[in-house]
Amino acid sequence: MTGVAGLVGLGVFLREVGVDDELRQFDGLKRSPTVVYPMSSQLRPLVDAFAVGETRVFGIEGLASDRLFVHLSGSRVSSIDTLSEDVGRFDDASLAALENMMASHGLARLPLVRGTYAYADIDTTVLPIFGEHEGALVGPNPKYRGRPSLHPMILRSAETGTIIGAQLRPGDTGFGVDDVPTVRAWVRRAKSKLHKDVSLCLRMDSAGDCAELLRGLHDEEVFYLVKAKLTPDLLGQIEWTRTWRTTDKDEEGRPLRQVAELQFSR
């Protein structure tokens, strides 16, 4: 019996879209002539493990008892120590190459999007860590206060549901000016894949209410929709605005939703 039969179809798909071949670009991270487990053969089992719900290297130990998983991994699975050491070989350049490889597959269907806009959502999320992970630091953590965490930043295509940009950051990192160059690079990469008649619209929560980010998106000539931080000066501007326009009414004709454009500067 096996619990990973679905990995057969997944493996066929990944080979067809070129993932197996693309992973070989990382074999240079292990240059010893006596290499037993090339980097590509280490990364593929991690992809399979993630597909069946194991999000940590330690999950490979349990999967190593599944004969089909072992067969799909080339008839042998390395030890957790070796696998952990190999994952640690990634430097900034190889991590950038891995992220670009991921994004290229996420962007593959973006040229098929039609309409006025293609929407992309940028989000940061707190991932509490129960153990010792590189980069796991204590930061803002509303659910597990004082718990070390990671704080990844992700760009997701709303139409295709795929990730088209990702960066893993320490848990004490918030969104701010330092992230603007990364977001601008992701935006340029996504724009290059769009049909000529489709414009990119970036959406973000109140973390995106950052003058440097908005200026950067303006310079990249993309549309954006950002939730404003309700600071006292903005609340005051809202209070004094009298030009509200009703866009939705209830059955008795009373306003349900009203909108207005504010002349407001951060």
**Structural domains in the chain (count):** 3
> Looking at residues 119-143, what average pLDDT do you find?
74
User: Does 129 share its domain with 217?
Assistant: yes
- The pLDDT tens digits for 92-112 are 999 999 999 999 999 999 999
Percent of the chain having pLDDT more than 70?
A: 94
Same domain, 244 and 171: no
* In-domain check, residue 100: no
Q: What integer pLDDT is reported at residue 32 of this predicted model?
A: 83
State residue 5 phi and psi, 5-degree precision. Answer: -60, -30
Q: Any idea of the CA torsion for 175, 181, 183, 188, to the nearest 10 degrees?
A: 170
Q: Is the residue at 242 inside a domain?
A: yes
Instruction: Please check whether residues 83 and 160 belong to one and the same domain.
Output: no
Weakest-pLDDT range from 43-47, 125-129, 167-171: 125-129
Over residues 162-189, the mean pLDDT reads: 89
Residue 134 pLDDT > 70 = no
Claim to verify: residue 147 and residue 216 sit in the same structural domain: yes
pLDDT for 75 equals 86
Q: Are residues 73 and 138 in the same domain?
A: no
Residue 150 shares a structural domain with residue 176: yes
Q: Note whether 203 and 247 are same-domain residues.
A: no
pLDDT in tens, 21-33: 999 999 999 988 8
Q: Do residue 51 and residue 16 come from a single domain?
A: yes
Which residues form the domain of 170? 112-226
107 inside domain: no
Residues 117 and 216 in one domain: yes
Residue 61 covered by a domain: yes
* 56 pLDDT tier (thresholds 50, 70, 90): confident
* CA separation, residue 250 to residues 124, 195, 242, 258 (Å): 36, 40, 21, 12
Q: What is the CATH number of the domain that holds 179?
A: 3.30.420
Distance CA 39, CA 88 (A): 11
Residue 188 counted as domain residue? yes
186 in a structural domain: yes
* 21 assigned to some structural domain: yes
User: Per-residue pLDDT for 173 more than 80?
Assistant: no
Whether residues 85 and 134 share a domain: the answer is no
Residues 123 and 186 in one domain: yes
**Residue 131: left if φ>0, alpha if ψ -120 to 50, beta else—which one?**
left
Query: Is 96 inside a domain boundary?
Result: no
Q: Are residues 210 and 246 in the same domain?
A: no
pTM summary value? 0.83
Strand-pair category, 223-226 with 153-157? unpaired
Average pLDDT, the chain: 89
Q: How many CB atoms lie within 10 A of CB 73?
A: 23
